[in-house]
Amino acid sequence: MLAAGGLALGAAVLISDLLAYWVPRSWLSAPLLLPLAGLGLGLSRFCAMPAAGLLLVWLAGAAAAVLWRVPIMDRLAELPGAVSHDFLTLPIAALAIGGTLVPGGRATRIALWPAALIGGGAYAMTVKLSDPGDIGDPTVLLAGLGLGLWVALTLNVAARIPPARWAETASRILGSWLIAIGLIYGSLALPGNRPAQPTPPPERTLPPPRFPDFGETGDAPPADVDGSRFPFQSDGAFNPERAP
């Protein structure tokens, strides 16, 4: 079933020019895929029915983020660096999923429910923000959700392969990586919204003097400093006493 789903998604990517452009440039990135891998490893802690319920919670978070993305982005825009870093959706998903995988045991199984809701919402917002298609075209969103489910289910099936002990160790290691990625990415985004320092205006350079002997610039008339150099008065009358 997973193989058939993967083939169907791969065929859709190859057929659609939009998906062929979006998948390698936006979707295939470690900050986007690692939280999905963490969700898949977390699913392996549950039986079939609770695991299916956890995926439904993830989809519910994605649907809520798409429907109410405008007020959500308004709130996230108040955080430092949010606007210039995709509203910090990637570190939010990494910290939410990674923080639940590290403890292990019952604590992980309980915390995964709200983490799946937050992770689904952050993933859907990341997909929408990276959508190069037309407004209202759901192609990228539906393909992104399908690819996300396929990655999570594939990791879930792989984590159930015996011996099961390796999955718990891998979950804690991946959880530590996700926490580190979330903290590093978030700290780099903190100065993103600071206003740029204004550029000082260029210094005004005066034009070269038109009459170097008078020591004046071309824009201003030469001044009669001592009254001995110019025979004309300020009213235009000739003064013979000033004649050289």
53's tokens: 């319920």
| Cβ–Cβ under 8 Å, residues 81 and 189 | yes
Predicted local confidence at residue 23, as pLDDT? 86
Tokens coding 73? 């982005």
Distances (CA, A) of 111 to 51, 100, 167, 179, 180: 14, 6, 18, 15, 19
Calculate mean pLDDT across residues 169-178: 90
**Does residue 198 or residue 76 have the better pLDDT?**
76
* DSSP letter (8 states) at residue 192: G
pLDDT in tens, 80-138: 767 667 778 888 899 999 999 998 888 888 999 999 999 999 999 999 888 887 777 88
Q: pTM for the full model?
A: 0.71
Considering only CA atoms, which of 2, 8, 3, 1 is closest in space to residue 143?
A: 8
In degrees, rounded to 5, the angle at the alpha carbon of residue 83 between the alpha carbons of residues 184 and 19 is: 85
- How many Å apart are CA 170 and CA 115, to the nearest integer? 18
Q: What's residue 152's pLDDT?
A: 92
pLDDT at 87: 79
Residue 242 confidence (pLDDT): 56
Helix, strand, or coil (residue 215): coil
Split at pLDDT 50, 70, 90, the class of 16 is confident
Interval 178-211: pLDDT, tens: 999 888 887 877 665 555 556 666 666 666 666 6
